[in-house]
């Protein structure tokens, strides 16, 4: 008589858990962002139509731009843009490479410091593109570009110092502010809700209910 043997499944690795989280939670967040953006554009459409100071020509022009934006809005693109950030914030066991990673309050995690340097280089690269000739008839966009050009980016040293100050305020005399990979200030109700949507962490250094998403 053969005895039945139970096959014991190997527990999922952290990487598998995080990859599953990115797929599931990213999908949820992308849909939420899409809905909010569509609602915002619809509100803007209503305001333009009711604006008595705009000429019909200007109204048509602005409405055409909004309709084009709505047409080009794509959940897949939104998911792609959000995936990197969501990975750090909601799918990050131990909140690695973030300001909330456990450790001494007066020191930044080494990988987080490297991330700041990498982002700084990307910012400088993006600013170089703004210096190239850019033609547009949109006055608001022109003004925005001018404003960005005037802003002087913080040095890497300043950014690191600011993050250490922020970390000290968050941690106080503690070396850990996480509870089951979630920032301890998040409510149990919201924590349960985020988990139901696929999140396995909450690594943002601020919390304002689900509006923080």
Claim to verify: residue 91 and residue 152 sit in the same structural domain? no
Question: Could you give the CA distance from residue 199 to residue 15 in angstroms, rounded to a whole number?
Answer: 14
Please, are residues 200 and 18 in contact by the beta-carbon 8 Å criterion? yes
Claim to verify: residue 126 and residue 159 sit in the same structural domain? yes
**Mean pLDDT estimate for the chain:** 84
Tokens of 197: 């949507």
Looking at the predicted structure, is the pLDDT value of residue 60 above 50? yes
pLDDT of the residue at 126: 72
Residue with tokens 């400088």, as numbered in its chain: 124
Claim to verify: residue 188 and residue 88 sit in the same structural domain? yes
Claim to verify: residue 55 and residue 81 sit in the same structural domain? yes
pLDDT of the residue at 101: 96
Claim to verify: residue 168 and residue 197 sit in the same structural domain? no
Claim to verify: residue 52 and residue 68 sit in the same structural domain? yes
DSSP 210: B
pLDDT of the residue at 212: 56
Q: Is residue 112 in a domain?
A: yes
Question: Could you give the CA distance from residue 6 to residue 18 in angstroms, rounded to a whole number?
Answer: 27
CA distances from 14 to 96, 172, 207 (A): 12, 29, 25
CB neighbour list of residue 108: distance below 8 Å, 6 or more residues apart: 99, 116, 160, 163, 164, 167
Looking at the predicted structure, is the pLDDT value of residue 1 above 70? no
By the 10 Å C-beta count (0-12 exposed, 13-18 middle, 19+ buried), 24 is classed as middle
- % of residues, the chain, pLDDT over 70: 81
Query: Which residue from 208, 212, 205 is spatially nearest to 105, judged by alpha carbons?
Result: 205
pLDDT of the residue at 131: 65
CA distances from 39 to 18, 63, 66 (A): 31, 15, 12
- Tally of structural domains, the chain: 2
Segment 154-169, tens digit of pLDDT: 888 999 999 999 999 9
Claim to verify: residue 38 and residue 89 sit in the same structural domain? yes
Q: Return phi, psi of residue 208, to 5°.
A: -140, 55
Segment 76-118, tens digit of pLDDT: 888 888 887 888 999 999 999 999 999 999 999 999 999 988 8
pLDDT of the residue at 7: 47
Claim to verify: residue 114 and residue 97 sit in the same structural domain? no
Question: Could you give the CA distance from residue 145 to residue 139 in angstroms, rounded to a whole number?
Answer: 10
Claim to verify: residue 56 and residue 132 sit in the same structural domain? no
Q: Return phi, psi of residue 179, to 5°.
A: -130, 105
Claim to verify: residue 182 and residue 90 sit in the same structural domain? yes
CA distances from 87 to 6, 24, 125, 154, 183 (A): 35, 11, 23, 25, 15
Domain that holds residue 68: 15-102+176-213
């Amino acid at each position: 008589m053969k005895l039945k043997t139970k096959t014991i499944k190997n527990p999922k690795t952290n990487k598998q858990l995080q990859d599953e989280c990115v797929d599931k939670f990213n999908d949820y967040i992308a849909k939420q962002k899409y809905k909010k953006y569509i609602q915002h554009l619809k509100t803007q459409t209503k305001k333009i139509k009711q604006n008595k100071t705009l000429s019909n020509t200007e109204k048509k022009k602005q409405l055409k731009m909004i309709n084009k934006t709505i047409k080009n809005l794509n959940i897949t693109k939104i998911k792609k843009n959000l995936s990197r950030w969501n990975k750090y914030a909601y799918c990050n066991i131990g909140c690695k490479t973030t300001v909330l990673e456990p450790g001494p309050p007066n020191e930044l995690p080494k990988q987080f410091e490297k991330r700041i340097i990498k982002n700084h280089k990307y910012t400088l690269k993006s600013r170089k593109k703004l210096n190239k000739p850019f033609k547009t008839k949109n006055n608001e966009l022109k003004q925005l570009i001018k404003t960005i050009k005037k802003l002087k980016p913080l040095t890497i040293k300043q950014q690191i110092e600011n993050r250490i100050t922020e970390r000290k305020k968050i941690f106080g005399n503690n070396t850990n502010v996480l509870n089951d990979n979630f920032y301890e200030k998040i409510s149990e109700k919201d924590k349960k809700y985020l988990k139901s949507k696929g999140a396995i962490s909450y690594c943002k250094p601020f919390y304002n209910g689900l509006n923080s998403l």
